């Protein structure tokens, strides 16, 4: 290969490299700034194909999509000076590419650190204005809206980013407070259990006393009815006996004597010591005659 051909090849390669470095593409999901010797000459490069001066201009690209800042759990005090452990996250995106690059050099980690500090300060301020009930349930939506608004104002002015939303994932009591709260809840449940047991015993005693009273009333009523029936039966039996006795007194007396003999001599082991001339043997004496 001749020297001219070698020089032409080298020139061609250099021109190709220069041409290659003269073009750059910004995607739809990106934001970019164009620098010239480290100074911003185009603060907001639009998506598409662009031309730059090789080795003079530099392009810094940033992710223009919605990004997430997941902050660590932090301790905050409410209006009543009660401690809470709050875990929150924020959704943000680059709004002003020039301000974002100036504040963070285009490094997301730096933006997250600064935004996290701002988020913590906003949360501390909003929790300090509210009671425990308002922070947990009463005004939780309003709290997140206020945090989002205040954080967005600070982030736009200082970092060139827009905070779209802030959400509180969890609100817990500190570990040293959880035990005392659990003990208090356990004591309250035990007290309620004792109250329910006492009420149950009181109701049981009342039911038992009422049942005993009803039992005594029923037994007394049954005994009265039984005595009345027994009295009526005895009266009817006496009337029947009297009627039978009135029809034939001698036969009735004889029948009564036979029953007395049968019942007296039913058991052979019985021994009776009687006067043979007593009325008990009156009919036996008559049978001998």
Domain match, 47 and 93 both: no
Q: Are residues 37 and 93 in the same domain?
A: no
Domains: count for the chain: 3
The DSSP element (H or E) to which 101 belongs, if any, is: helix 97-104
Give this prediction's pTM: 0.56
Q: What residue numbers bound the domain in which 150 lies?
A: 67-179
How many other CB atoms are found less than 10 A from the CB of residue 100?
24
Q: Please check whether residues 120 and 55 belong to one and the same domain.
A: no
Q: Are residues 108 and 164 in the same domain?
A: yes
Cα(31)–Cα(155) distance, integer angstroms: 17
Q: SS3 helix, strand, coil % of the chain, rounded to 5?
A: 60, 20, 20
Q: What is the mean pLDDT of the chain?
A: 82
Cα–Cα distance between 11 and 51 in angstroms, integer?
Answer: 21
Specify the CATH number for the domain of residue 170.
3.30.479.30
Query: Both 133 and 117 in a single domain?
Result: yes
- pLDDT range class, residue 264, cuts 50, 70, 90: low
Find the mean pLDDT for residues 166-183: 76
Please report the pLDDT score of residue 141 as a whole number: 84
107 in the same domain as 7: no
Task: Return the residue matching tokens 């008559």.
Answer: 286
59 and 31: one domain?
yes
Three-state DSSP class for 172? strand
Q: Do residues 85 and 153 both lie within one domain? A: yes
Do 173 and 90 sit in the same domain of this protein?
yes
Dist. CA 69–CA 156, nearest whole Å: 16
Confidence of residue 181 (pLDDT cuts 50, 70, 90): low
pLDDT at position 11: 65
- List strand residue ranges (DSSP E) for 137-251, in order: 161-172
Percentage of the chain modeled with pLDDT above 70 = 79
Instruction: Answer yes or no: do 24 and 97 share one domain.
Output: no
Residue 88: inside a domain, yes or no? yes
Q: Is 99 in contact with 159 (CB distance < 8 Å)?
A: yes
Give pLDDT, residue 113: 92
What is the mean predicted confidence (pLDDT) over 160-175? 87
Q: Are residues 38 and 119 in the same domain?
A: no
| pLDDT range class, residue 180, cuts 50, 70, 90 | low
| Tens-digit pLDDT profile for residues 17-76 | 666 678 888 898 889 998 888 888 888 888 888 888 887 888 888 898 999 998 888 888
Tell whether 218 is covered by a domain.
no
What are the pLDDT digits (tens) for 84-130? 888 899 999 999 999 999 998 888 999 999 999 999 999 999 888 88
Percent of the chain whose predicted confidence (pLDDT) is above 90 = 21
CB 100 within 8 A of CB 94: yes
Task: Look at residue 28 and tell me if it is in a domain.
Answer: yes
Most confident of 11-15, 43-47, 138-142: 43-47
pLDDT at residue 163, rounded to an integer: 93
Give yes or no: residues 172 and 130 share one domain. yes
């Amino acid at each position: 290969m001749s020297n001219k051909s070698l020089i032409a090849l080298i020139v061609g390669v250099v021109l190709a490299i220069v041409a290659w470095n003269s073009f750059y593409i910004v995607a739809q999901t990106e934001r970019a700034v164009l620098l010239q010797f480290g100074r911003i000459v185009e603060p907001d490069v639009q998506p598409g194909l662009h031309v730059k001066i090789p080795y003079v201009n530099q392009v810094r690209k940033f992710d223009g999509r919605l990004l997430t800042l997941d902050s660590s759990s932090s301790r905050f005090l409410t209006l009543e000076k009660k401690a809470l452990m709050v875990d929150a996250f924020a959704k943000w995106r680059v709004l002003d590419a020039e301000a974002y690059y100036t504040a963070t050099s285009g490094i997301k980690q730096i933006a997250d650190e600064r935004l996290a500090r701002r988020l913590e300060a906003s949360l501390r301020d909003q929790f300090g204005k509210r009671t425990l009930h308002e922070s947990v349930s009463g005004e939780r939506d309003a709290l997140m809206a206020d945090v989002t608004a205040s954080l967005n104002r600070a982030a736009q002015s200082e970092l060139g980013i827009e905070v779209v939303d802030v959400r509180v994932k969890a609100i817990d009591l500190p570990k040293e407070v959880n035990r005392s709260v659990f003990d208090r809840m356990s004591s309250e449940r035990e007290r309620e259990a004792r109250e329910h047991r006492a009420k149950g015993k009181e109701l049981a005693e009342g039911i038992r006393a009422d049942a005993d009273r009803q039992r005594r009333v029923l037994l007394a009523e049954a005994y009265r009815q039984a005595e009345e029936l027994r009295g009526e039966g005895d009266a009817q039996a006496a009337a029947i006996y009297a009627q039978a006795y009135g029809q034939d007194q001698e036969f009735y007396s004889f029948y009564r004597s036979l029953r007395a003999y049968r019942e007296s001599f039913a058991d052979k082991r019985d021994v009776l010591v009687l006067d043979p001339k007593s009325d008990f043997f009156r009919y036996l004496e008559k049978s001998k005659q």
